[in-house]
Chains A and B, each alone.
Chain A
Amino acid sequence: MSDDTRATTAEDIKAVPVRHYGRWAVAVVVSVFVASLLYSAARNERFKWDVVGDYLFSDRVLNGLWLTLWLSTVAVVIGVILGTALAIMRLSSNPVLSTISLVYIWFFRGTPVLVQLIGWAFIGALYPEISFGVPFGGPDLISGSGNDIITPITAAILGLGLNLAAYQSEIVRAGLLSVDEGQVEAGKALGLTGSQTMRRIVLPQAMRVIIPPTGNQAIDMLKTSSLVSVIAVSDLLYSVQLIYGQNYQQIPLLVVACIWYLFFTTLLSIGQYYLERHYAKGNVRSLPPTPLQRIRARTAGMRFGASGGGGGAGA
């Protein structure tokens, strides 16, 4: 092989890549292990894959899945918007705003989310009548019984969203602090107001730092939302619990739930990857190729395919 690669300085370098024998060895060991694991799971009748197949697309499961998806989405939207607001308040020079934010975070981060969910669900027990109006005896604008206003779904949205906001605000705050102070000064010097500088200059640059942990939170929320089963909201997990409560097929139904959770967390991870690329603009001289671009490049240059394949299998 080395005979025909007589290097001349006039041509581009086509070096023989270093052979990663270790990677190949590990890849083979891991592949065998995974294959045997899959084989044993597939052959084990106690998994009852036929039951998994029966219920994967059943109406009750899909209804639960749908509720999980929109509940998590709403909670994440509330969390991100409120969290961003809390972070900006926390960093504000206005002492009233920063104190409000501090106390909010202290409370919602300091108590378990499960307790918060139950608290919202049973708020009717604490406040049988809820009314919004002029305080200290003024007229009421909206009023009703606590149980009518705070339904289990509302309780779930409030419990998950408000709790996420507390964590999200710390993520956003870290992102805002990561932006060089010179950027703020340049904005000020050009005559931008504080809020213009925040919205147009600081926040977009903070996104690069904010997005990875936010993606993490979104993925986490998809699964944390299963806590709402304790307040009888029929999300994905609660739906399969109801089904296996009737037919005692716990394992296959939990597998059904896990398949759906895995499927959507995978989708979210892919979305996060492209979102990160979008906000990397201007920070990386040239963006790394997307997996699709990488596959195309690899099939175009098959001669170097061997070494790339080893890396892929080991990863």
Chain B
Amino acid sequence: MSSTDERTHGTDGASAGVPMVLAEGVHKRFGLNEVLKGIDMTVGRGEVVCLLGPSGSGKSTLLRCINHLEPINRGRITVDGQIVGYREKDGRLHELPEKVAVQQRADIGMVFQRFNLFAHRTALQNITEAPILVKGMGRKQAEARALELLERVGLGDRGGAYPSQLSGGQQQRVAIARALAMDPKLMLFDEPTSALDPELVGDVLDVMRDLAKAGMTMVVVTHEIGFAREVGDRVVFMDEGVVVESGPPSQVLDAPQEARTRTFLSKVL
């Protein structure tokens, strides 16, 4: 059926052994303000990594660098073994032409804090847009697939609704379905529940939990400590543009080694 079912945790893929995301010494500046100060991070295939940290710590920026929405200033990021946004030739990095860069992004799904559903398109059209435009999929096929995905996020009957007619939680689930329609090999979640009313958070987390179970590789920026503990294979705690500590949730969340992690957790728990 969907690619997430075919592509299970497998280390038997063609590029087995290569991590899904590899960030090495990543620096990112906005003007004089250095937001990322040398980040090293690895995300394995099928792994769910939760990025935690106070606001302004650079978590969202790191996420946006992974799919090259923000170009980085130093270091390198590879996704599935490919350098993001560049091509290496004769020891120099060359910017990728738009057509190639676009293909890279098409393989990486992203879910935003503010949903960013296309306001002039129905839920169904939001989902079919990219498969039709980017993958050249036929309309009928794309719509069938979109319905399947809407069903999967529990909104099988809301395909004809415009985003403004949906609740925040429903919009976010459509946004997840929209990203999944491109059969991504990696899903990035940028605080997917931060803009939701408390009673709507659960539905979105349920969908993400199912996705993780199906073996999707996920990087999740979140403030939901409970979710990180339950679903995360690993938790990365960031502060002021560096990774303070990382490890399994039981270690980072329950027995943090660093004082900064302890301070943060004492505030949010």
Contact = CB atoms under 8 A, between A and B. Distances in A.
B170 to A, nearest CB: 14
B21 to A, nearest CB: 16
B137 interface: no
Given A183-B116, A190-B105, A191-B134, A282 B163 contact: yes
Given A193-B99, A200-B129, A182 B162 contact: no
Contacts of A190: 105-106, 129-130, 134, 178-179, 182
Among B69, B107, B129, max chain A CB count under 10 A is at B129
A187 B117 CA distance: 9
B102 A285 contact: no
Most chain B CB neighbours (cut-off 10 Å) among A180, A185, A190, A282: A190
Contacts of B164: 282-285
B130 A194 contact: no
A282 B162 contact: yes
A241 interface: no
B73 interface: no
A28 B182 CA distance: 64
A182 B113 CA distance: 10
A94 to B, nearest CB: 12
A189 interface: yes
B67 interface: yes
A177 B118 CA distance: 16
A205 interface: yes
Contacts of A279: 120
Interface in B127-174: 129-130, 133-134, 162-165
A283 B119 contact: yes
A185 B133 contact: no
Contacts of A194: 98
Contacts of B118: 183, 186-187, 201, 205
Interface string A250-290: 00000000000000000000000000000101111100000
A191 B112 contact: no
A201 B178 CA distance: 14
Given A188-B105, A191-B182, A200 B133 contact: yes
A130 to B, nearest CB: 38
A193 B119 contact: no
Interface string A277-308: 00101111100000000000000000000000
B112 A182 contact: yes
Contacts of A284: 164
Nearest to A181: B116
Contacts of A92: none
A72 to B, nearest CB: 29
Nearest to A206: B120
Contacts of B194: none
A189 B99 CA distance: 13
Contacts of A285: 164-165
B72 interface: no
Given A183-B116, A201-B118, A189 B129 contact: no
Interface in A197-224: 200-201, 204-205
Contacts of B251: none
Contact of A191 (B102, B120, B122): B102
A154 interface: no
Contacts of A192: 102, 129-130, 133-134
Looking at B69, B133, B179, which has the most chain A CB atoms within 10 Å of its CB?
B133
B9 interface: no
B190 to A, nearest CB: 10
Nearest to B175: A186
A99 interface: no
A145 interface: no
B203 to A, nearest CB: 20
Given A281-B162, A282-B164, A283-B164, A189 B110 contact: yes
- With most chain B CB atoms within 10 A of its CB, the pick from A180, A182, A285 is A182
A281 B125 CA distance: 13
A186 B112 contact: yes
Contacts of B102: 191-193
B134 A182 contact: no
A189 B133 CA distance: 13
A143 interface: no
Given A189-B67, A282-B119, 15 more contacts: A180-B116, A185-B112, A185-B116, A190-B130, A190-B134, A190-B178, A191-B103, A191-B106, A191-B107, A192-B102, A192-B134, A200-B129, A282-B162, A283-B120, A285-B164
12 contacts: A183-B119, A187-B118, A189-B105, A189-B108, A189-B109, A190-B105, A192-B133, A196-B133, A201-B118, A205-B119, A282-B162, A282-B164
Interface of B: 67, 69, 98-99, 102-103, 105-110, 112, 114, 116-122, 129-130, 133-134, 162-165, 175, 178-179, 182
The 5 A-B pairs at the shortest CB distance, nearest first, are namely A191-B106, A186-B116, A190-B130, A182-B116, A282-B162
